[in-house]
Chain A
Amino acid sequence: GENVEQHPSTLSVQEGDSAVIKCTYSDSASNYFPWYKQELGKRPQLIIDIRSNVGEKKDQRIAVTLNKTAKHFSLHITETQPEDSAVYFCAASLTGYSTLTFGKGTMLLVSP
């Protein structure tokens, strides 16, 4: 089955810095890669996703890149703000199958 590795497990940055979280996946058939943000005590919220026919996608301060050959994808957050502090999860799945395999999560702490 699919296996997703996520690094780092914790990431501390200063407000205004950029943050990068990286994930690798094992199943070359996976073609859908969402990212979720989970604040303490709250539900995971989808923040951005990418499909394997796209190499990069941006949404304001958030971007995701995908390298299918290397089987890795990354989340980039620019101009970080304290409200970006949360746990971020990457995931992988095959289109049409609601079976998300998650990474272990990255706790991002943005200090003012």
Chain B
Amino acid sequence: GQNIDQPTEMTATEGAIVQINCTYQTSGFNGLFWYQQHAGEAPTFLSYNVLDGLEEKGRFSSFLSRSKGYSYLLLKELQMKDSASYLCFFPGGSYIPTFGRGTSLIVHP
């Protein structure tokens, strides 16, 4: 099975940097995804980590440490439109694919 933990809510200021953590305990591992979901919309893909280290995509970066069961999503130069829910996702394989409950990020001026 899988146990995934994310903070429920975070707030940050426009222009700042925010780090959203995801810790997990899984019976197997074949990658971790991060998704963004705006209210009333479908989740959209942000990043994918399968090896340890940092993956950078513009203002968004994601880090993975498999030995520590830990990942984070780093958002730089925050914009108001970044206010959304951020979900870490384990795709599964021989086990049930699972989302974390999501972190609601509120960006204020």
A and B pair up: no
> Which A residues are closer than 8 A to B by beta carbons?
none
> Which B residues are closer than 8 A to A by beta carbons?
none
